[in-house]
Structure 1
Amino acid sequence: MKKLLLFLFTITCFCCSSSDDDNPCDNLASNGEEVSLNLISTALAYLADNSNSNCVAYETAAEEYIDYSNSILDCLDADDRAELEQEIEDLEAEIAALNCT
């Protein structure tokens, strides 16, 4: 979980942006910020209180983050892409292990 939170912070801080709305790779930092912050806040809430409602919220936020991350893979260089793909796999494994009802 710490690795995921650190990665989310890193991608939020270091992504580049542009003002061209037609390119899906533009505005990575601003577009990903909301998704990343939502994942971080729901993860922290679930760590503090592992109730079912927090579990469902975390699972939903994780799925949104995975969807967003998959949508930007082509925007990254090979090293960053490989790192993000690994983070996606780790997060998918983590949410698969959740026992939300």
Structure 2
Amino acid sequence: MILQNILLQIGNIEISGIIDLAIMVFSLLLLSLSLIAFKNTGLKKILYAAGAFGLFAVSLFLEYAEESTDFLGGIDIDFVGSAITLGILILFFIAIVKRR
């Protein structure tokens, strides 16, 4: 009976929204860990990876906000999302290719 009541309360929240929120939190955690790693090692290429994790969190936040509300108004979220994804890929590429 208690489990059924809990499931009914959770049923109002969309599972995809919960997963998006978990991914945002995880990407912010990775951003924090990357910044700590940079502080400890001084390797500048870690900053590129940290930037990519930060952009990933921003991208998911914008996507989640657009689905939940009309957060961006008339701005095309597909264009913004694609531009952020391109930025993420470029930052990861630089982090891998860059020497020291």
TM normalised by structure 1 equals 0.42
Relative to its length, the structure with more helix (as a share) is: 2
